[in-house]
């Protein structure tokens, strides 16, 4: 298996990924809304039926669902039909084990990231922020408002390290499911390549992130109905970013005509 090469794009491509995701969304809106709804239902369903174990199960299978989404995107762009069942298509491939591995690594990394600040619980600011993150704790104990507490150098350092590690794990994860199902890569190699690609295109990802946060805020205003567009578009950006950074530009243009 040959490791695919990637392109380095200017920051403006962060907007282009969202624009192209909207283009894909409006061609098949019902499919993408259905896919998003299934992921939400699976998330709530596993949590309701299995309790805390359900959250672990959901984290493990999320990359498999995302892999099915990417396969459906690729099918539609190359003129092959797709339907609602395709969100589960990666479960029936040899990629499923690889995708679950990615989910396990991602979950472990996130657990470590959100566990680290707890080591500095003696700092008032860190203690308040940890309580704010863990909503159950915050609801049972009246935590002091973080803005009314002194922002110590320790708190600043811990928050910066946490943000750095959180971003690094996202970079490892971002392209991994897509690279596995569309480039036939192994989990560790896919995550390494995902990290290098995100690192080399960080300005574009930064712009993308700001735009998506803005869209989520705007989309949640009209009774959350806008999220029926924004959430699927966010998932579709995994594909449009991969297509821009890894795929042959001539092939991309041919599939869009």
CA atoms of 134 and 121, how far apart (whole Å): 13
Asked if residue 48 is part of any domain, the answer here is: yes
The pLDDT of residue 52 is 84
Give the pLDDT of the chain (257 residues) as one tens digit per residue: 567 889 999 999 999 999 999 999 999 999 999 999 999 999 999 988 888 888 899 999 999 999 999 999 999 988 888 899 999 999 999 999 999 999 999 999 988 887 776 665 555 555 555 565 554 434 444 444 455 555 567 667 777 888 899 999 999 999 999 999 999 999 999 999 999 999 999 999 999 999 999 999 988 887 778 889 999 999 999 999 999 999 654 444 333 43
Asked if residue 99 is part of any domain, the answer here is: yes
Question: 60 Cβ partners below 8 Å, 6+ apart?
Answer: 100, 103, 104, 107
Asked if residue 138 is part of any domain, the answer here is: yes
If we measure between CA atoms, which residue out of 102, 33, 104, 103 comes closest to residue 69? 33
The pLDDT of residue 116 is 73
User: What's the per-residue H, E or C state across the chain?
Assistant: CCCCCCCCCCCCHHHHHHHHHHHHHHHCHHHHHHHHHHHHHHHHHHHHHHCHHHHHHHHHHHHHHHHHHHHHHHHHHCCCCCCHHHHHHHHHCCCHHHHHHHHHHHHHHHHHHHHHHHHHCCCHHHHHHHHHHCHHHHHHCCCCCHHHCCCCHHHHHHHHHHHHHHHHHHHHHHCHHHHHHHHCCCHHHHHHHHHHHHHHCHHHHHHHHHHHHHHHHHHCCCCCCCHHHHHHHHHHHHHHHHHHHHCCHHHHHHHHC
The pLDDT of residue 135 is 47
Asked if residue 212 is part of any domain, the answer here is: yes
User: pTM for the whole thing?
Assistant: 0.84
The pLDDT of residue 11 is 96
State the residue range of the domain holding 174: 13-256
Asked if residue 157 is part of any domain, the answer here is: yes
Asked if residue 7 is part of any domain, the answer here is: no
Query: To the nearest whole number, what is the mean pLDDT of the chain?
Result: 84
The pLDDT of residue 214 is 94
Structural domain total, the chain: 1
Asked if residue 3 is part of any domain, the answer here is: no
Asked if residue 2 is part of any domain, the answer here is: no
């Amino acid at each position: 298996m040959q490791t695919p090469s990637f392109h380095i794009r200017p920051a403006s491509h962060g907007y282009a990924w969202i624009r192209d995701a909207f283009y894909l969304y409006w061609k098949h809106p019902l499919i993408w809304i259905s896919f998003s709804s299934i992921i939400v239902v699976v998330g709530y369903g596993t949590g309701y039926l299995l309790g805390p174990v359900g959250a672990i199960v959901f984290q493990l299978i999320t990359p498999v669902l995302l892999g099915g989404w990417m396969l459906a995107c690729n099918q539609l762009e190359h003129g092959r039909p797709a339907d609602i069942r395709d969100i589960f298509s990666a479960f029936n491939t040899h990629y499923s084990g690889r995708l679950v591995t990615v989910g396990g690594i991602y979950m472990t990394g996130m657990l470590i990231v959100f566990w680290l600040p707890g080591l500095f619980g003696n700092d008032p600011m860190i203690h308040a922020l940890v309580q704010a993150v863990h909503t159950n704790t915050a609801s049972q104990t009246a935590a002091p408002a973080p803005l009314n507490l002194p922002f110590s150098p320790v708190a600043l350092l811990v928050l910066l390290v946490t943000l750095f590690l959180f971003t690094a794990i996202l970079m490892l994860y971002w392209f991994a499911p897509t690279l596995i199902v569309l480039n036939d890569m192994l989990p560790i190699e896919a995550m390494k390549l995902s990290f290098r690609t995100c690192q080399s295109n960080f300005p574009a990802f930064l712009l993308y992130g700001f735009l998506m946060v803005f869209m989520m805020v705007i989309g949640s205003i009209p009774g959350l109905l806008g999220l029926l567009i924004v959430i699927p578009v966010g998932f579709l950006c995994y594909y449009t970013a991969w297509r821009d950074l890894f795929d042959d530009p001539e092939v991309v243009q041919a599939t869009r005509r």
